[in-house]
Amino acid sequence: MISSDIEKVLLTEEQIEQRCIELAQQIERDYEEEGTVPIIVGLLKGSIPFMAELIKRFTFPCEIDFMSVSSYDGTESIGDVRIEKDMDLSTKSRSVLVVEDIVDTGRTLAEVKKMFFNKGATDVKIVSLLDKPDRRVVDIEADYIGFTVPNEFVVGYGLDFNQKYRNLPFIGVLKPEIYE
Ligand code: 5GP
């Protein structure tokens, strides 16, 4: 049982579901006011459960796509992002809603945002299930945040440790003996 590796639960399935309903309503209202329909792009793999929970609440016609990026430190400490798997849809002249699991240093999202504007997107917004503001090194904020979490390594609801624990239906912190 992978749940026995968890020291504490930070966010329950019910809390996450409830917050996804609120986020989806707020996002839908905002796009309605702007009069645009975004392409919704999930960053693999961590965004999958959150994206699924969010999009089923939208009532507008959703176009969804996925991409996989890996962040790595470039020669300078500003970081950079490598596209591992690209999208199928074009984002040229479109607004984009990027779905992310967690904003940590902010490097990934800063680069992804820049990349979408370079590809001709007219607007790029970010929704992240979690935010760890204490760890930020790049000045970027998500437009929509599910929960702010303390500076601890969290797993579950899409988030992994060595590719495991993504299927946990809650967000938790691992027992130290698991990663030490
Ligand atoms: P950033 O570029 O903001 O530093 O990194 C974001 C990525 O780092 C996330 O998409 C996620 O994959 C990973 N990450 C950052 N913090 C955590 C965490 O607490 N737990 C897990 N499982 N992944 C994290």
Could you report the per-residue pLDDT of 50-73, keeping only the tens digit for each?
Answer: 999 999 999 999 899 999 998 655
Asked if the structure places residue 159 within a domain, the reply is no
159 lines ligand 1 (CB under 6 A): yes
- Looking at ligand 1, which residue's alpha carbon is closest to its atom 8? 104
Please tell me if the CB atom of residue 107 comes closer than 6 angstroms to any atom of ligand 1. Answer: yes
Torsion of CA 29, 139, 45, 76, to 10 degrees: 160
How many other β-carbons are positioned within 10 Å of the β-carbon of residue 121? 21
pLDDT tens for residues 94-148? Answer: 999 999 999 999 989 999 999 999 999 999 999 999 999 998 999 999 999 999 9
Q: What is the mean pLDDT of the chain?
A: 93
Does the residue 58 lie in any domain? yes
Instruction: Report d(CA 58, CA 103) in Å as an integer.
Output: 23
- Ligand 1 centroid – CA 35 distance (Å): 32
Flag whether pLDDT at 77 surpasses 90.
no
Q: Which domain holds residue 132?
A: 13-152
Within a domain: residue 158? no
**CATH assignment at residue 145:** 3.40.50.2020
- Model pTM score: 0.94
What is the pLDDT confidence band of residue 82, given thresholds at 50, 70 and 90? confident
For the chain, what is the domain count? 1
Task: Give the per-residue SS3 of 10-44.
Answer: EECHHHHHHHHHHHHHHHHHHHHHHCCCCEEEEEC
Integer CA distances (angstroms), 168 to 5, 12, 153, 177, in order: 11, 10, 15, 19
With a 6 Å cutoff on the Cβ, whether 153 touches ligand 1 is yes
Q: How far is the CA of 32 from the centre of ligand 1 (A)?
A: 31
Q: Is residue 173 part of a domain?
A: no
Ligand 1 centre distance from Cα of residue 46 (Å): 9
Return phi, psi of residue 178, to 5°: -75, -35
154 CB near ligand 1 (under 6 Å)? yes
Predicted pLDDT of residue 157: 98
- The kind and range of the H/E element at 71 are strand 63-72
pLDDT tens sequence across 17-34:
999 999 999 999 999 999
